Amino acid sequence: MNEKKPIYSSNLVIRSAVDDDVDMLRDVFRRASLTIEGDRDLIATHPEWLVWDDAMLPFARVAVVDGRVVGFASARPVDDFLELEDLFTDPDWMRQGVASALIEDIVRRGVRVEVTANPHAIGFYESVGFVASGVANTQGGTAPRMDLDVTRARF
C-alpha cells in the first residue's frame, strides 16, 4: 500500500471533470464504495450500484494530485440548492483532506448544499458543517438527509 502523504494546497488541484476522467471516476467510485465494510453485503446483492452514472459528468469536480485523480464530487442544481450526489475519495488518499477540499469547492458557489448521507459518513459531514434535516428512503433503506448552509461551513 502507498504511504499516505498529507496534501498541501500547492499540489492539490480541483477542476471540472472531463470525458478523459470517466474511467478514473468509475474506478474511484467503485473502490471507495467497497471500503465501507458495513455496506459490502448490500453492494454484493446490488452490484449495479457500483456503476457510476456518467450523466453526472457535467456536475462533477475532480481533485487531482500530481496528475492523478484522487477524488471527486458531483452536485447538481435542484430548485434553490445543490444536491450532492457523489463524494468519493480514492482509498489510498482517504483521510488526507480530499473530501473536505471538494466540499469547500462546492461551497464557493454560495448555494445551500443538501445530501442523502451514507450513515457511515455522518461524522465527516458534521465536521464540515452539515446538519441533520430529515430522513430519506433509499434503495438501501433509510438514510439521513443533511444540509449545509454556506454561512456555517467550517473552512
Closest CA to 29 of 83, 82, 91, 107: 91
The one-digit pLDDT tens for each residue of the chain (155 residues) are 444 455 555 689 999 999 999 999 988 988 888 777 766 566 666 566 566 678 889 999 999 999 999 999 999 999 999 999 999 999 999 999 999 999 999 999 988 999 999 888 899 999 999 999 999 887 777 889 999 988 767 76
Report residue 141 CA to chain centroid gap.
19
pTM of the model: 0.83
Which domains does the chain possess?
A: 12-152 (3.40.630.30)
